[in-house]
Amino acid sequence: MKYPAIEKYMADHNLSLREFARRCDIPSSTMCRLLNG
Check: CB of residue 31 under 8 Å from CB of residue 17.
yes
Q: What is the pTM of this model?
A: 0.67
pLDDT value of residue 22: 95
The pLDDT-based confidence of 3 (bands split at 50, 70, 90) is: confident
The total of other beta-carbon atoms located within 10 Å of residue 21's CB is: 19
Residue ranges per structural domain of the chain: 4-36
The pLDDT-based confidence of 35 (bands split at 50, 70, 90) is: confident
What residues have CB less than 8 Å from 14, skipping those under 6 apart? none
pLDDT, tens digit, 9 for 90 and up, residues 17-32:
999 999 999 998 998 8
Q: Largest Cα–Cα distance of the chain, in whole Å?
A: 23
Please tell me which residue, 5 or 37, carries the higher pLDDT value: 5
